[in-house]
Amino acid sequence: MIGLDRLSLNQMTVHRLSVAETADLCARHGIPAIGLWREPVAELGVRESAAAVRRAGLHVSSLCRGGFFTRADAAARRAAHEDNLAALEEAAALEADTLVLVSGGLVPGSRDLGLAQRMISDGIAALLPRAAELGVRLGVEPLHPMFCADRCAVNRLADALDLAGAFPASQVGVVIDSYHVWWDPRIGADVARAAGRIAGYQVCDWVVPLPADALLGRGHLGDGSIDFRALTGPVLDAGYAGYVEVEIMSEKVWDAPADQTAATVKDRFAAILG
């Protein structure tokens, strides 16, 4: 179905490693691409991070993350905009395929979902001129509905597509993460509709019971509830030709030796998506 030449390791899967250590890990295991996060990139420095991944021969499939557009006052919105402009620069320096956007939840002090969604749309629009100059593509990631209140008020792929659809596909795509969308019985049709807009595809499994921090209820492919072939088929049929990122947020996975994690990532990817 899909070869290991399209595997990317998102560094969140080996959360305790630095950018340089993660890049070395990928090189050691023959993983051709990496997904990066801004905080560890900032720790090493953007230029040094770009050099580290280039030295390791890696492609950067994504940078996480910009967004968090939903703020209660103009000053906070300006600060978020400035931070997003910085994220654009970083994504350009890293030559990342996409800057992943996590949009932000309800506006503090408000229960108005429509307001949050308009603020998200406005926030994206404000980034486009600079994103175009830098050649960075934005990827709107719908997050699971359980994160609507406090993290991301864009929760189904259908809604992310409605949002992205107001902008050129070359500038604003969507990022599909199995953890967030697998439950949706309309996901196949929505993925088909996403053709030309898929800026990233991330995979990890849904493991029950959810832990206290529902962000961390994830597992290696095959350890949970998700039918990965059923989801990946439509993604490929829609023409997605980019990397497939394995991004697992899980205390258990983080506690495992990184080389064991990388080996398991490759084994499961080959067994389930190969």
Taking the least distance from each CB to a copy of itself, the nearer of 60 and 164 is 164
Q: Longest C-alpha distance within the chain, in Å?
A: 50
Nearest approach, Cβ of residue 159 and a copy of itself (Å)? 6
| Amino acid at site 78 | R
Could you give the CA distance from residue 226 to residue 238 in angstroms, rounded to a whole number?
20
Could you tell me the smallest distance in angstroms from the CB atom of residue 106 to a copy of itself?
A: 6
CB of residue 151 vs a copy of itself: minimum separation in angstroms? 9
Binding residues for a copy of itself, rule: CB under 8 A, are 106, 111-114, 117, 144-146, 148-150, 153, 155-156, 159, 182-186, 206, 208-214, 224-227, 230
Structure tokens at 69: 């557009």
| Short-list 111, 1, 87, 106, CA closest to 39 | 87
Taking the least distance from each CB to a copy of itself, the nearer of 97 and 190 is 190
- Identity of the residue numbered 13: T
Residues 6+ apart with CB under 8 A from 239: 195, 196, 198
Which of 92/176 has CB closer to a copy of itself?
A: 176
Structure tokens at 159: 């809604």
Q: Please, what is the minimum distance in Å from the beta carbon of residue 214 to a copy of itself? A: 6
CB of 154 to a copy of itself, least distance (A): 9
Of 68 and 243, nearer to a copy of itself (C-beta) is 68
Strands 218-219 and 205-206: antiparallel
